[in-house]
Amino acid sequence: MKIIELLTWRYATKKMDPSRPVPQDKVDRIVEAARLAPTSSGLQPFEIISVTNPAVRVQIREIAWNQAQITDCSHLLVFAAWDNYTAERINHMFDYTNEVRGLRNEDWENYRQQLLNTYPNRPAEVNFQHAARQAYIAFSAAVIAAAEEHVDATPMEGFDPNKLDDILGLRSRGLRSAVMLPLGYRQADGDWLVNLTKVRRPREQFVTEVR
Amino acid sequence: MKIIELLTWRYATKKMDPSRPVPQDKVDRIVEAARLAPTSSGLQPFEIISVTNPAVRVQIREIAWNQAQITDCSHLLVFAAWDNYTAERINHMFDYTNEVRGLRNEDWENYRQQLLNTYPNRPAEVNFQHAARQAYIAFSAAVIAAAEEHVDATPMEGFDPNKLDDILGLRSRGLRSAVMLPLGYRQADGDWLVNLTKVRRPREQFVTEVR
């Protein structure tokens, strides 16, 4: 299917079938789409935590408005962004890039210095917000890739991020949770949204042309 | 092509061919993918401004590190997020949803009240940051859709957002620029990035499993 068809097919699944696991190769391709997504300066300032452990998911559900998809889904993907940009993190990615490409490029090194001179000096919160936006780029790629796999998913921001960070031990890893994506298969007979029309603002209220 | 192949094919194009316009039907499908992307509570708190006007693009280039793609590209898409969540904006989307679906749902109305009781009371900056994240979801869908159309694109955050808001008159429309996406066709012989290996963190540094 084309991207537009995939986006039309998908919906924020409200009821997952707890008896249907998503095959691991599908999950792997969904995660791979997120890994390949573009990010600012190629820093990829986030990680994915894939939660299948039932007890952990019970805990997460408790700090996420009791949303049933968290425990009914097959894999719960948590997108967690860097809590800050540090010189170490920036250097790691630039060094790794040089290693993979087998070259050092003067413009690229100048660009590294520009980042090193700006990012680590900004407040951590500014950097986290920037990193979280990058996580959303990958999150969106994962949403579309899930649809391509005919896997249902539920974009989910309704949780207490600080408590989720505690449950998953994210802060000690320099991460903060940004958004979650339960993956699974819809249980249509318990899903109030499945048969409702997808609503989007009309095109003329969405795009303006400056000719 | 599959999503993973599209993400592998695309790259942040550094040199666009100014003589090759992107057919409007391709631009329309790219924008349509952005319009169909999921957003928090379905509010779609952003708009796209498609800039083709040459003089305006010269102005934008001046406040965007003189990046040549801005004037060399075919269409410059600017993703601009709501500067705030207001009761009016929330009600507009909930009313429109009821109108399209031809029904009023008690749970949905309760959810509307929950948003009305929280979002408008938060600082505008918090709301803008949240809206900008939603814009990034749509932005990512547009990046992937462009690849599907074999259209090159350059994710671009390197600009002065306040000055871009002034140039496009966004603030009076309740919008603030978040990210740009020039669309066009690569001019490979002037593009330092086109032949370099795409670098992404290895999978084992990107995803963790909690089993």
Mean predicted confidence (pLDDT) in B164-193:
98
The answer to whether the CB of B34 falls within 8 A of the CB of B179 is no
Tell whether B180 is within 8 A of chain A (Cβ). Answer: no
- Domain ranges for chain A: 2-37+50-77+138-161+176-206
Q: Which residues of A touch B148 (CB under 8 A)?
A: 2-3
Tell whether B160 is within 8 A of chain A (Cβ). Answer: no
Which pLDDT value is given to residue B104? 87
Q: Which tens digits make up the pLDDT trace of A23-42? A: 999 999 999 999 999 999 99
Residue B139 and residue A137: Cβ atoms within 8 Å?
Answer: yes
For residue B167, the chain A residue with the least C-alpha distance is A210
Q: Do β-strands A175-184 and A46-51 pair in parallel, antiparallel, or remain unpaired?
A: unpaired
Residue B206 and residue A48: Cβ atoms within 8 Å?
Answer: yes
User: Mean of the per-residue pLDDT values for chain B?
Assistant: 97
CA-based nearest residue to A11, from A198, A178, A149, A160: A198
Tell whether B73 is within 8 A of chain A (Cβ). Answer: no
Tell whether A105 is within 8 A of chain B (Cβ). Answer: yes
Rounded to a whole number, what is the distance in angstroms from the first to the last CA of chain B?
32
Using CA atoms, how far apart are residues A145 and B4, in angstroms rounded to an integer?
A: 8
How big is the CA angle at B53 (ends B50 and B58), to the nearest 5 degrees? 105
Mean predicted confidence (pLDDT) in A187-208:
97
Which pLDDT value is given to residue B154? 98
For residue A29, the chain B residue with the least C-alpha distance is B4
Helix (H, G, I), strand (E, B) or coil at B80: strand
Mean predicted confidence (pLDDT) in B43-50:
98
pLDDT of residue B105 exceeding 90: no
Residue B138 and residue A140: Cβ atoms within 8 Å?
Answer: yes
Neighbouring C-alpha atoms within 13 Å toward the C-beta of B9: 18
CA-based nearest residue to B52, from B13, B18, B10: B18
Strand pairing partners for A49? Answer: A78, B208
DSSP B47: E
Can you spell out the DSSP letters for chain A? --HHHHHHH--B-S-B-TT-PPPHHHHHHHHHHHHHS--GGG---EEEEEE--HHHHHHHHHTTTT-THHHHSSEEEEEEEES---HHHHHHHHHHHHHHHT---HHHHHHHHHHHHHGGGS-HHHHHHHHHHHHHHHHHHHHHHHHHTT-EE--B--S-HHHHHHHHT-GGGTEEEEEEEEEE-B-GGG-SSTTSPP----GGGTEEEE-
* CA distances, A22 to each of A1, A147, A153, A170, A191 (Å): 20, 12, 11, 25, 19
For residue B36, the chain A residue with the least C-alpha distance is A7
The secondary structure element, H or E, covering residue B70 is helix B69-72
Mean predicted confidence (pLDDT) in B10-32:
98
The answer to whether the CB of A183 falls within 8 A of the CB of A75 is yes
DSSP B41: G
CA B97 to chain centre: 22
Mean predicted confidence (pLDDT) in B76-101:
98
Which pLDDT value is given to residue A162? 98
Query: pTM of the prediction?
Result: 0.98
Interface test with B, best of A127, A199, A205 (most B CBs within 10 A): A199
Tell whether B40 is within 8 A of chain A (Cβ). Answer: yes
Q: Return the CATH superfamily for domain A2-37+50-77+138-161+176-206.
A: NADH Oxidase (3.40.109.10)
Q: Which residues of A touch B155 (CB under 8 A)?
A: 38, 40, 137
Q: Do β-strands B207-210 and A46-51 pair in parallel, antiparallel, or remain unpaired?
A: parallel
Of A36, A157, A198, the CB nearest to B7: A36
Q: What is the ipTM of this complex?
A: 0.98
Q: Which tens digits make up the pLDDT trace of B133-155? A: 999 999 999 999 999 999 999 99
Mean predicted confidence (pLDDT) in B105-120:
96
The answer to whether the CB of B13 falls within 8 A of the CB of B152 is yes
pLDDT of residue A104 exceeding 90: no
Q: Which residues of A touch B194 (CB under 8 A)?
A: none
Q: Which tens digits make up the pLDDT trace of A154-191? A: 999 999 999 999 999 999 999 999 999 999 999 999 99
Which pLDDT value is given to residue B38? 98
Q: Which residues contact B25 (CB under 8 A, 6 or more apart)?
A: none
User: Mean of the per-residue pLDDT values for chain A?
Assistant: 97
Q: Which residues of B touch A50 (CB under 8 A)?
A: 207-210
For residue A74, the chain B residue with the least C-alpha distance is B211
Of B3, B42, B136, the CB nearest to A136: B136
* CA distances, A8 to each of A144, A197, B27 (Å): 10, 10, 18
Of A48, A52, A100, the CB nearest to B207: A48
Of A7, A138, A179, the CB nearest to B37: A7
Using CA atoms, how far apart are residues B36 and B32, in angstroms rounded to an integer?
A: 6
Q: Which residues of B touch A211 (CB under 8 A)?
A: 52-53
For residue B203, the chain A residue with the least C-alpha distance is A35
The radius of gyration of chain A's CA atoms, rounded to the nearest angstrom, is 19
Mean predicted confidence (pLDDT) in B69-98:
98
Residue B208 and residue A47: Cβ atoms within 8 Å?
Answer: yes
Using CA atoms, how far apart are residues B34 and B136, in angstroms rounded to an integer?
A: 9
A 108-127 residues with CB < 8 A to B: none
Using CA atoms, how far apart are residues B194 and B211, in angstroms rounded to an integer?
A: 40
pLDDT of residue B8 exceeding 90: yes
Residue B31 and residue A203: Cβ atoms within 8 Å?
Answer: yes
